[in-house]
Structure 1
Amino acid sequence: MVSSIDGLVSGLSTSSMISSLMQVEAAPQTRLKAKVSAAQSVVSAYQSVNSKVASLQTAADSLSQLSTWRAVKPTSSSTSVTTTSTGGTDTATGAVKFSVNALATAQAGTMRVNTATVTNAEGKQVAADILPPETTELKIRTGVWVQAVDGQGNPQVDGNGDPVWASQGKEVTVPITDRTAKGVSAAINGAGAGVKATLVKIGETESVLQLNGMRTGADNAFQIIGLDAAASSDGKGVITTTEAANAKITVGDPDNGGFSLVSTTNTFTGLMPGVSVTVSKMENDVTITSVSDAAGIAAKFQALVDAANATLTEIGAQTAYNPETKKGSPLTGDFSVRQMSSAILSTISQGLSFRREGAPPAPTGADATPQALADDRAANVVNFGALSQLGVALDSTGKLTFKADQFIAKYNSDPDAVQAAGIAFADNFEALAKTQTANVTSAVTGRKTLIDSMNFQIDDWDVRLAAKREALQKTYSGLETALSKLNSQSSWLSGQIASLG
């Protein structure tokens, strides 16, 4: 790179002259950068519209799902019994009455332990051990363990004298290195066997080791092998204060067509399809009622209408033109985007027709005679008519409106027909959104390709401009050198002439 210093000989501002010349040389690159900036604004506008269209597609897909139309809203006659809709398509409406016979409980037990201090072999005061030195491990058994018996009811054992289990749960071995009450408690907690141990001090030299199952239900009962009477300060070992038990509800009279259900938790999911029931106290004659969730479906309609309006608003903003300032928006004049508004509004204004569920495909090719098509339409096409029947309409501003009460009334009067129409309506919007998304994505891809090409040209211009600047600097530097030589020669000649006189 040739350095440039304003003319010391010529008196010219060469740096300013070079900068001015470079601005002229860079004019094509400047125009390219402006085009890139404009193209990036268009891409951002496309992407903004596309995000709204994607939201419209999501809302339409949600409304078209069968699980939306089969959603139920359960209620309970008791404040101590809560109900929740679990969703899905396997639901049912109706009512059922039952009694809560038992609640699920987790096993709990206590054992009194010695927490006095003793003097060890080194003469230091330390906590007393509750386990003998030979105990190096405990075993925590969870679940239901039943020992097999022979024909006379005698417990069976194997060749080593160990029990033969007819059924067994899970067994976890707990290594023991610290045999004090605190050490045993910590070891149980660290075993990850679903049992929580807590020490509660009740005296200067005695504490209670509380053992609590972390899960309810009979299948989560536990026993700790090795923590026996010898480990307790009162010689009674672990005393179970609460048995692990299942929750139980009964529908009707089990001896006369009724039945009972049990759960390891206080929640039942099999009582009514699509409904979860949670009990919190024992009581009789609780009634659960499940009805179609018309309000929930209406909320899905409202979400679709809101998404469509948001799309229309975004399209309007990105294609707007201000006649006063004579300035447009990034997508002003873009037909592919403007026609989205027409497509959305047409979906509402043209009413609704759709093929019946399970109908055969429409005739095509040589079979598509006028009579065959007419017969097909008569047999397989539902002309539902104006969407105002679903509570959907257009207002004077060209936006969609939705009247939930009108929809719910229509749905309650003819749920099957409204479901078929609602799903078809949502499918139309979903298909429309998919098509528009594909179109906008293609436009974005094209613009990004153009931007990449222009950026490549801009980078190429950087190289060319750098070379041009260096050439100009060399030229003006050479000019200053030449002028300096001429000045030197002029001074020499003046000196020679003066010496002649």
Structure 2
Amino acid sequence: MSSSVDGLVSGLSTSSMISQMMKVEAAPQTKLKAKVETAETAVTSYQSVNTKLKALKSAADAVSSMGSWRALKTNSSSESVTATAVGGLTGMTGSVKFDVTSVARAQTSLLKMSDTTAEQVFPASITIQPGTWSPDIDADGVDEFTPVGDPVNVTIPDPRKADNLTNAVNSAGAGIRAYTVTTSGTEGVVQFTSMKSGAANGFQISGLETAGTGGTGPETTSGKDAVLTMNKNTPTEYTVVSSTNTFSGVMPGVTLSVSKEESNVTVDATADTGAVADKFKALVDAANAALTEIKTQTTYDPETRKGSPLTGDFTIRQMNQAVLSMVSGGLSYDKVVGKDADENDIKETVGFGSLGQLGISLSRDGLMEFDASKFTKAYTEDPAKIQEAGMAFGSQVRALADKQSKTVTGVITGRKSEIDTLTTQIENWDVRLSSRRQALQRQYAGLETALGKLNNQSSWLSGAMGG
């Protein structure tokens, strides 16, 4: 620990002198700090470029993916039938015609109550039997119930009121929900509803046969499946069944949802050319964003004679040329045309030519442009050719962006390692400079002490001589 020694004897500003000398001593550390600052700025710029390259790779991935080219748009002739394109590799164009023979519903059983608040003649326990429903085969207007699995016993606690009954059923884990509904005054019903729709999620309740108003038992609306009758009244007629009102296997890549029974419904699925064009536009936009970022980070202003953080960085500047050359040079790619005797791929090079056929061109300002109408026209005229070339182009852009991103990542890693090394050196200089400052403070403190002693001796001698 040191103390100020300014001018105690000598009258000199020793702390100022020490500070000036420490600036000279710290010059090497100051240079190291400047290097760290420059390196950190460069790392930030590299990261900014890398973010754009990764976005370009992602956009190119979408163009090269078969799933993107299987994009569909749907149309339904009925407002009660919704057709939704879900995309993916399974998507296929086509048309289906069907009748909605039935819609799915969950089973509901009602027990009428004259007083939902009073204690009832419920038994001490009831039994819930799970099972399935099948259509009426006896022509008595009642669907047939078939027990499936083990029954569930439910104990009704005292006092045996409607709410205690519903609470006991809800806690039994039988797959049904029970609740009390007041219809008028104290009158109401206890409703039991299956948690899932469909004929396979049915149940029967034993023990409540005479527990309702006037000694009645539960009245039941059976569970039911949704059924589509395909190609009705033709040799190719068949049915598709679902426990819900959603069908996912009728058309590849399309989900159907029905809400009421209806005849002669037609659903069409066609290629969504607009969605594919949007993928290309996204790729071009991502490429332009990358090119713009590279230009921003490497530009040099001759008027101010100031450069950007990566001005003169060949690694970054050549990336710009690589992207533009890919467009200006046209497209060629290898295509597998068969197998040889050893089951190795036989490839041939396809010279597709100008990317203008895909609606892609270069503008005068060195960026890419995309003409959606030109792409759509070419794709409509020859879907197979444009799809093959488009996927090949997407794959090439993806490979280029991935390679460049890895290069930038390697540079960033190297710069960060350099920063860590410089930071360690700066910390070492902190220790060295602290020791040097303490040494100078002790030196000047000793000087002041020595001068003080000399002054005292001078005063004594002057006094002695005067005496």
* 1:290-315 superposed Cα distances (whole Å, 9 cap, x missing partner): 11121111111111111101101111
Query: Which residue matches 2:138?
Result: none
99-108 or 228-237: which moved more?
Answer: 228-237
The amino acid across from 2:2 in the alignment is: V
The amino acid across from 1:329 in the alignment is: S
Indicate yes or no: 2:208 matched with 1:208: no
Indicate if the aligned counterparts of 1:351 and 1:384 stay in contact, CA closer than 8 A. Answer: yes
Cα distance between partner residues in 2 of 1:109 and 1:395:
71
* Cα pair distance change 1:302/1:456, threshold 3 Å: same
Query: Which residue matches 1:308?
Result: 287
Residue from 249, 266, 270 that aligns with 2:249: 270
Query: Which residue matches 1:128?
Result: 119
Cα distance between partner residues in 2 of 1:449 and 1:43:
11
Indicate yes or no: 2:273 matched with 1:294: yes
Indicate yes or no: 2:389 matched with 1:421: yes
Query: Which residue matches 1:395?
Result: 363
1:273 deviates by: 1.3
Query: Which residue matches 1:160?
Result: none
Map residues 48-447 of structure 1 onto 2, 5 A cutoff.
Answer: 48-113=48-113, 128=119, 131-132=122-123, 134-135=124-125, 139-144=127-132, 168-169=148-149, 176-177=156-157, 179-226=160-207, 228-240=208-220, 242-253=221-232, 256-358=235-337, 380-447=348-415
* Cα pair distance change 1:22/1:188, threshold 3 Å: farther
Indicate yes or no: 2:441 matched with 1:460: no
SS of 1:73's partner is strand
* 1:353-390 superposed Cα distances (whole Å, 9 cap, x missing partner): 111234569xxxxxxxxxxxxxx9xx822111111111
Cα distance between partner residues in 2 of 1:443 and 1:254:
70
Cα distance between partner residues in 2 of 1:291 and 1:277:
15
Paired residues in the alignment total 451
The amino acid across from 1:243 in the alignment is: S
* Cα pair distance change 1:130/1:449, threshold 3 Å: farther
1:340 deviates by: 0.8
1:411 deviates by: 0.8
Cα distance between partner residues in 1 of 2:303 and 2:173:
74
290-299 or 10-19: which moved more?
Answer: 10-19
Which runs of 5 or more residues in structure 1 are unaligned? Answer: 118-126, 147-164, 362-375
Cα distance between partner residues in 2 of 1:204 and 1:280:
34
Cα distance between partner residues in 1 of 2:436 and 2:121:
92
The amino acid across from 2:247 in the alignment is: F
| Structural RMSD (CA) | 2.4
Indicate if the aligned counterparts of 1:49 and 1:315 stay in contact, CA closer than 8 A. Answer: yes
* Cα pair distance change 1:191/1:459, threshold 3 Å: farther
Cα distance between partner residues in 2 of 1:411 and 1:173:
64
SS of 1:212's partner is strand
Cα distance between partner residues in 1 of 2:154 and 2:365:
73
1:397 deviates by: 1.0
1:201 deviates by: 2.2
Indicate if the aligned counterparts of 2:96 and 2:266 stay in contact, CA closer than 8 A. Answer: yes
SS of 2:215's partner is coil
SS of 1:291's partner is strand
Cα distance between partner residues in 1 of 2:121 and 2:293:
74
* Cα pair distance change 1:171/1:327, threshold 3 Å: farther
* Cα pair distance change 1:167/1:335, threshold 3 Å: farther
Indicate yes or no: 2:447 matched with 1:479: yes
Cα distance between partner residues in 1 of 2:152 and 2:410:
60
Indicate if the aligned counterparts of 1:359 and 1:380 stay in contact, CA closer than 8 A. Answer: no
Cα distance between partner residues in 2 of 1:198 and 1:110:
10
* Cα pair distance change 1:495/1:432, threshold 3 Å: same
Which runs of 5 or more residues in structure 2 are unaligned? Answer: 135-144, 341-345
* 1:317-372 superposed Cα distances (whole Å, 9 cap, x missing partner): 111111121111111111111111111111111111111234569xxxxxxxxxxx
SS of 2:35's partner is helix
* Cα pair distance change 1:230/1:391, threshold 3 Å: same
The amino acid across from 2:26 in the alignment is: A
SS of 1:356's partner is strand
